[in-house]
């Protein structure tokens, strides 16, 4: 049986390369289909790996609490809030919390000015604990201190993107920038973090939380975010349930009421992103896989033509003792090899296309092809060849040897 497979493979390769152009045109559908699928998978998997690394830098034991208002409630003018009282409650009652900090975003303006340069950035008020919670580290200068917060000092820590946009010196410490009509002294420059999901993490200005509160003016209920990190022995799910119970009780929510806040973890965000990426890959892969179907039909047509062209050859083979399964195996292997060769060419083209696209887009992560995608592409190509090669192979195997020898 091994000898039959070897001879059938050798004969199939000779036939394929003897009609090189026809073989290439026959497998063009397979090549396009596999190349499209591999290009899509390489781009999405490269992005997924990059996002995974970015989210891991946020820390797997960090939580973010923020308000949530359904659209129906917002249309009625109702707005949920997370307040400083909630922060105090969590600080007093929650267990397993290592560090906690409030975040208050500037609501009036996001404009930052330095001399004649102006830019718009994400300005937020926070405390010294923000560095531990967000895993932010200093490149130059120092971070916000507790004394800055207690005395409401006009000091700021900026990201690298802000320094570049304002054309600040390489060492911007002790320079002054204008935020919301107030002058702030730069005390530190953060280490660059790069982009994540299109958001530049270095486009940020941090000021003391109490200073931001004073800049916002009198507000009946301030809406803040709360970020916290957990101790090593704490379980994320247990802490999440504990925080949910505390906040629901503080907001007077009944058993039938939905939460007016959300608690996010880096792992949850990554799982959500993975779900989206997998759905996009599946849908686009399903669409472009139609090319594989078209390619399979092309292979079946050419193999039927090949059977007709080689009718006398089949008759001779049967006359000298070839069995039905020998002829069946020969044409089936030829169809499968034809499809597999198209799959290999499509695999190379798809990876090259994905690499070219990723390298042509600024800040786009490099393309990456997982082994399962390679195996799936080649396996499906081989399956298409076998599926659409059955009919021509069966036709060849069922030919009557006498009629085949008489065929002109």
Any domain includes 177: yes
In the prediction, which pLDDT does 407 show? 60
In the prediction, which pLDDT does 53 show? 65
In this structure, the answer to whether residues 42 and 118 fall within a common structural domain is no
CA dist list (Å): 353 to 293, 368, 370: 21, 12, 16
In the prediction, which pLDDT does 402 show? 67
Any domain includes 63: no
Q: Which residues of 75-113 are buried (b: 16+ CB within 10 A; e: fewer)?
A: eeeeebbbbeebbebbeeebebbebbbbbbebeeebebe
In the prediction, which pLDDT does 406 show? 63
What is the chain's alpha carbon radius of gyration, rounded to the nearest angstrom? 33
- State the Cα angle at 105 between 104 and 106, rounded to 5°: 120
Would you give the end-to-end CA distance of the chain in angstroms? Answer: 32
In the prediction, which pLDDT does 229 show? 85
**Model's pTM, two decimal places?**
0.62
Tokens linked to 51: 């996002």
In this structure, the answer to whether residues 73 and 220 fall within a common structural domain is yes
Any domain includes 160: yes
Any domain includes 265: no
Tokens linked to 302: 């050419």
Query: Quick one: which H or E segment has residue 50?
Result: helix 28-56
In the prediction, which pLDDT does 188 show? 93
In this structure, the answer to whether residues 129 and 225 fall within a common structural domain is yes
In the prediction, which pLDDT does 386 show? 81
Any domain includes 266: no
In the prediction, which pLDDT does 2 show? 66
End residue of a domain, out of 226, 259, 292: 259
In this structure, the answer to whether residues 39 and 75 fall within a common structural domain is no
In this structure, the answer to whether residues 155 and 135 fall within a common structural domain is yes
Q: Which residues have C-beta within 8 Å of that of residue 41, sequence separation ≥ 6?
A: 281, 285, 350, 354, 369, 370, 373
- DSSP secondary structure letter of residue 320: T
In this structure, the answer to whether residues 248 and 279 fall within a common structural domain is no
> Could you give the number of structural domains in the chain?
2
Whole-angstrom Cα distance, residue 106 to residue 214?
11
End residue of a domain, out of 199, 233, 259: 259
pLDDT along the chain (408 residues), means of 10: 65 72 78 83 77 60 84 77 89 87 84 89 91 87 92 93 91 91 92 74 91 76 84 82 89 84 77 75 72 78 76 73 74 82 88 84 75 81 82 77 63
For residues 138 and 192, is the Cβ–Cβ distance under 8 A? no
In the prediction, which pLDDT does 56 show? 59
CA dist list (Å): 228 to 82, 131, 342: 14, 11, 53
For residues 207 and 51, is the Cβ–Cβ distance under 8 A? no
In the prediction, which pLDDT does 151 show? 92
In this structure, the answer to whether residues 19 and 112 fall within a common structural domain is no
Its domain, for residue 207, covers 69-259
Q: What is the dihedral angle through the alpha carbons of 337, 343, 349, 354, rounded to the nearest 10 degrees?
A: -160
In the prediction, which pLDDT does 260 show? 84
């Amino acid at each position: 049986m091994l000898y039959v497979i070897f001879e059938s493979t050798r004969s199939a390769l000779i036939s394929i390369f003897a009609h090189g152009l026809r073989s290439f045109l026959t497998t063009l559908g397979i090549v396009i289909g596999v190349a499209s699928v591999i290009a899509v998978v390489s781009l999405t998997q490269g992005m997924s790996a990059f996002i995974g690394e970015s989210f891991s830098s946020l820390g797997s034991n960090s939580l973010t609490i923020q308000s949530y208002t359904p659209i129906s409630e917002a249309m009625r003018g109702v707005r949920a809030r997370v307040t400083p009282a909630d922060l105090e409650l969590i600080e007093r009652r929650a267990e397993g919390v290592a560090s906690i900090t409030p975040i208050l975003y500037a609501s009036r303006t996001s404009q930052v000015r330095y001399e004649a340069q102006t830019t718009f950035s994400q300005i937020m008020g926070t405390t010294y604990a923000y560095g531990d919670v967000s895993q932010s580290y200093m490149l130059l200068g120092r971070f916000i201190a507790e004394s800055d917060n207690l005395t409401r000092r006009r000091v700021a820590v900026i990201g690298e993107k802000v320094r570049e946009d304002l054309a600040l010196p390489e060492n911007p410490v002790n320079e002054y920038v204008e935020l919301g009509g107030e002058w702030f002294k730069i005390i530190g420059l953060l280490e660059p973090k790069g982009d994540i999901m299109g958001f530049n993490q270095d486009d940020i200005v941090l000021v003391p939380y109490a200073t931001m509160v004073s800049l916002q003016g009198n507000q009946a209920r301030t809406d803040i975010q709360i970020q916290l990190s957990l101790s090593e022995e704490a379980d994320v799910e247990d802490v999440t349930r504990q925080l949910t119970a505390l906040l629901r009780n503080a907001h007077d929510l009944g058993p039938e009421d939905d939460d007016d806040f959300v608690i996010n973890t880096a792992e949850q965000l990554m799982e959500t992103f993975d779900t989206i990426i997998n759905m996009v890959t599946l849908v686009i892969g399903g669409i472009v896989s139609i090319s594989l179907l078209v390619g399979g039909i092309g292979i079946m047509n050419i193999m039927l033509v090949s059977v007709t062209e080689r009718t006398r050859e089949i008759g001779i083979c049967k006359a000298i003792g070839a069995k039905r399964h020998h002829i069946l195996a020969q044409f089936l292997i030829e169809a499968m090899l034809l499809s597999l060769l198209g799959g290999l060419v499509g695999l190379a083209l798809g990876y090259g296309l994905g690499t070219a696209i990723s390298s042509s887009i600024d800040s786009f992560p490099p393309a990456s092809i997982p082994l399962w995608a390679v195996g799936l592409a080649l396996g499906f190509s081989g399956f298409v060849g076998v599926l659409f090669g059955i009919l021509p192979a069966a036709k060849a195997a069922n030919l009557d040897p006498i009629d085949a020898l008489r065929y002109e």
